[in-house]
Structure 1
């Protein structure tokens, strides 16, 4: 006899581990603030406020009007898209990848990050993930029944993962290690020597390296993020995620790709062929144009300059208001330690109390750091997704909040 108490009410317990609840919570705070008549400046979600280039939109609009654009796409990505992605990898990083076996198209990099553990791990396996880290990193493990070993990103190490602190028994047991340079929520940067050490350890312990490079085109002050596939031999043990969301303002299009080790690429491709039929062909065509334009215009014509200006404006304005936060070297986020003078802490901790009080008092929305892991407590993430005038206004409101809450 089958016994089922149905106490779960048709909701899996795994959903509680996805890490997205804080975003719903912040959305509720925003609604509460608006109902109180407060105008919200939303620096929470990292959604670009600009549109793709006109030629990208033109290519998309023309493709969707074609009658033959509506059949099922290839689950591994169109030949044109994979070839262009491989050409961009060669142009941008000097890396040769095989478009046939070493690239798979994705509905954004989050699609791949959410499914990879299901494709390359068995339930009960172990994976090393950064703490703080993007919520889907650990959420995907919960879905797949994979155990997480949190690798702390500490301020005393400039938030770089201390690879030598990982115990041998963890390396021995781990299926993969997930890293992001630069990362989300913290703009961690490394050089090629660091990447070489990652690959060296991964090859020693037979661990897959998963490098999330969604912010490859958002380096500041002359810094250009590097690919782990630039390390000789990395294709034996590494894969890398790339996204069009931030680099080309195509967040709503849901397009990205994973490239690297052919076995891991094949596993993700096989899983996704049973889950979906790939990315809508017109969106892949628009992505091809995005890569073509990037290669034609050169490295200095992308989105980095816009976000560098915004970074400078907001950090300088916050300093004038008495809150000194570090300049991130890349990405669209500022990782800010809470002002020492702010002492209030509710049931959810100082980060959550600060974010809620700030939003309900001033209308400025930020994300509490504990949403990204235990090591995020005491910080907030600020997204540079408003224009400079609005960022100055946000800083003014934050300053007023700090003066009345210290």
Structure 2
């Protein structure tokens, strides 16, 4: 069968492939410790489940705004102020079917064919495939244990070229677990600030899986905030991986672009899952 070159160039998610192989081995009787999916070892909190049940009973079963219903986006904005001291309104928030879609929306909204996207390694494998889907060119920066698997300002400055459009990184990092300090984030922000056409996707989905102290956000630096897309969600911190609710906080123009992109793919995420996420906030 003849399929598009786009899909032929796209690799299967290796995370999902590893999880599938793990399940197959377990089903055959082999004892497997799976390190594939980022799955919490606790259950979705009771109040979150109760909120979903109420939403079903109250027939909250219709389309919402593509970016998520207003009260949920307002609750996310309050969470960002309460937990991270970030000032956003509902207009800056786009709720998606998981943080993976949030990242895809942002990349597809910001990257043109031929644009370079800087990604520190080790990295979450889907970053590269989504960049390729946008016809961007991944620029991989190796990191090592001697620097706690973190990108340095010097490495970033060296990697930036006239074609650079985006830096993607995560803190706490998937897969290394490294957590960036405020000083380390500021050093990165200082470099990006010198290059006015470069944006940052800051993947912070593991915010609550942090065992070394307070979580620091890239968007806390006002001089770079308008060029930062903060990605987060409820999957890891509230054991809601299967509920599929992620979100971005970004400049209104970026939020509108992501809303437009999402409107042509999935529209809003599940209304019941949105109510559950609201309870988690």
Q: Which residue of 2 aligns with 1:96?
A: 87
Q: Does the 8 A contact of 1:182 with 1:213 survive in 2?
A: yes
In the TM superposition, what is the alpha-carbon distance from 1:39 to its structure 2 partner?
Answer: 3.4
**In 2, Cα distance between the equivalents of 1:87 and 1:225?**
16
Q: Which residue of 1 aligns with 2:17?
A: 24
**In 2, Cα distance between the equivalents of 1:26 and 1:155?**
26
SS in 2 for 1:211: strand
Matches within 5 A, 1:299-378: none
Deviations 1:175-208 (A, max 9, x none): 1101111110011222212222222221211210
2:170 to 180, 183, 195: 180
SS in 2 for 1:142: helix
Q: Which residue of 2 aligns with 1:57?
A: 49
The alpha-carbon distance between structure 1 residues 32 and 54, as it changes in their structure 2 partners (threshold 3 A), is closer
SS in 1 for 2:89: coil
Q: Does the 8 A contact of 2:171 with 2:204 survive in 1?
A: yes
The alpha-carbon distance between structure 1 residues 158 and 53, as it changes in their structure 2 partners (threshold 3 A), is same
**In 1, Cα distance between the equivalents of 2:154 and 2:7?**
32
Q: Which residue of 2 aligns with 1:122?
A: 112
Q: Which residue of 2 aligns with 1:40?
A: 32
Q: Does 1:266 align with 2:252?
A: no
The range that moved more, 148-157 or 17-26, is: 17-26
Matches within 5 A, 1:149-228: 149-166=139-156, 168=158, 170-206=160-196, 207-221=198-212, 223-228=213-218
Unaligned stretches of 5+ in structure 2?
none
1:255 to 230, 234, 245: 245
The alpha-carbon distance between structure 1 residues 25 and 236, as it changes in their structure 2 partners (threshold 3 A), is closer
In the TM superposition, what is the alpha-carbon distance from 1:209 to its structure 2 partner?
Answer: 1.0
Q: Give the structure-2-normalised TM-score.
A: 0.91
In the TM superposition, what is the alpha-carbon distance from 1:27 to its structure 2 partner?
Answer: 2.9
SS in 2 for 1:151: strand
In the TM superposition, what is the alpha-carbon distance from 1:236 to its structure 2 partner?
Answer: 2.1
SS in 1 for 2:248: strand
Q: Does the 8 A contact of 2:114 with 2:163 survive in 1?
A: no
SS in 2 for 1:164: helix
In the TM superposition, what is the alpha-carbon distance from 1:23 to its structure 2 partner?
Answer: 4.0
Q: Give the structure-1-normalised TM-score.
A: 0.65
**In 1, Cα distance between the equivalents of 2:144 and 2:178?**
11
Q: Does the 8 A contact of 2:157 with 2:191 survive in 1?
A: no
Q: Does the 8 A contact of 1:217 with 1:224 survive in 2?
A: no
Aligned length: 280
RMSD: 2.1
In the TM superposition, what is the alpha-carbon distance from 1:167 to its structure 2 partner?
Answer: 5.2
The range that moved more, 84-93 or 108-117, is: 108-117
In the TM superposition, what is the alpha-carbon distance from 1:111 to its structure 2 partner?
Answer: 0.8
In the TM superposition, what is the alpha-carbon distance from 1:213 to its structure 2 partner?
Answer: 0.1
Unaligned stretches of 5+ in structure 1?
1-5, 292-406
Whichever of the two has the greater Rg, that structure is 1
SS in 2 for 1:271: helix
